[in-house]
Amino acid sequence: MSFVEYGDTIKDGDTAIVFLGHESMFPVKVQHGTVTQTKYGVIRHSTDLIGKKYGSKVTCSKGGWVFILHPTPELWTMNLPHRTQILYSTDISIITMMLELKPGSIVCESGTGSGSLSHALIRTVAPTGHLYTVEFHQQRAEKAREEFQEHGVEHLVTVTNQDVCKNGFGVSNIADAVFLDIPSPWEAIGHAKSALKAEGGRICSFSPCIEQVQRTCLAMEEYGFTEINTLEILLRVYNVRTISLQIPDLGKAAEDNSSTGFDSSNPSNQGSLCINLQQGTVQFKSGVPLREMVGHTGYLTFATKS
């Protein structure tokens, strides 16, 4: 099992995703002789998982069933153990695009945190690229190193435990891109410039506060970066629902449906609209935004080394 390569069958030692529903899933490490408890009953790793194909429907001891999914960076982002605040797929997607990453790219990252972005970066630069990730906190760095090894990507990433603002990334003039997610990114801009290749490298800084963005932009200008711009990505989800609205009373009842431009004999119209003249309502499908939405996560500041 690897987060960058797909395997057909579940093996002992794999990390798999137990899918109970779109709002209910969790990771599990497959081990011979181990059992996992779910609300539908027990999953026995030896008989229910090992040797089965990923995507299989597994029946639990109480008669309920779950799906066992192959791990991906997207699924890991939704299920990883949170050691820090993490980046989600909405921001990750624009980061990988704006940094112009591709297989073979060399990327420097700080800090590693819970490894959400790290797994996506590794998948993007594989099989010939490399990620150099720096984490200030020793225990988080060690845990991230263990996870990369368990997920079969340790050959694509180097984890370093040090202060990037003081000691940099440990590499010089080789990186195609640098990503910063630290409290004071302006203090690491000089080290980021040293890590980037001679010309054309890209940098991205993630900051939750606009004051951090202002200081970071000033530092980027001071070190000669160009094309500096800041983005904020907001995700708004819509649900498709059946809406019922009253037909307005415009005076005289409409005796001729043609005056409304609606042809009831047309089968396509019959499927899209349901008019009840007796009740004076019309039903149709519409996209309705959720009452609550994910708001501000952070500002993404991009620039190019000139």
Q: Is residue 163 a known part of a binding site? A: yes
Q: Is residue 117 a known part of a binding site? A: yes
Question: How far apart, in Å, do the first and last CA atoms of the chain sit?
Answer: 40
Q: Is residue 222 a known part of a binding site? A: no
The span from the CA of 271 to the CA of 286, in Å, is 13
Looking at the DSSP assignment, which residues form a beta bridge with residue 158? 132
Looking at the DSSP assignment, which residues form a beta bridge with residue 177? 107, 202
The span from the CA of 60 to the CA of 66, in Å, is 8
Question: Is 80 within 8 Å of 17 (Cβ atoms)?
Answer: no
Residues sharing a CB contact under 8 Å with residue 129, sequence separation 6 or more, in sequence order: 101, 102, 103, 104, 105, 106, 107, 156
The span from the CA of 134 to the CA of 180, in Å, is 10
The span from the CA of 252 to the CA of 303, in Å, is 63
Question: Is 151 within 8 Å of 14 (Cβ atoms)?
Answer: no
The DSSP string of 141-189 is HHHHHHHHHHTT-GGGEEEEES-HHHH--S--S-BSEEEE-SS-GGGGH
Q: Is residue 24 a known part of a binding site? A: no
Q: Is residue 181 a known part of a binding site? A: yes
Q: Is residue 116 a known part of a binding site? A: yes
CA distances, 279 to each of 60, 61, 245, 283 (Å): 48, 50, 10, 11
Q: Which residue has the tokens 């990453």?
A: 101
3-state secondary structure of 89: helix
Residues sharing a CB contact under 8 Å with residue 189, sequence separation 6 or more, in sequence order: 203, 216, 219, 220, 222, 223, 225
Annotated binding site: 114-117, 135, 163, 181
Annotated binding site for S-adenosyl-L-methionine: 114-117, 135, 163, 181
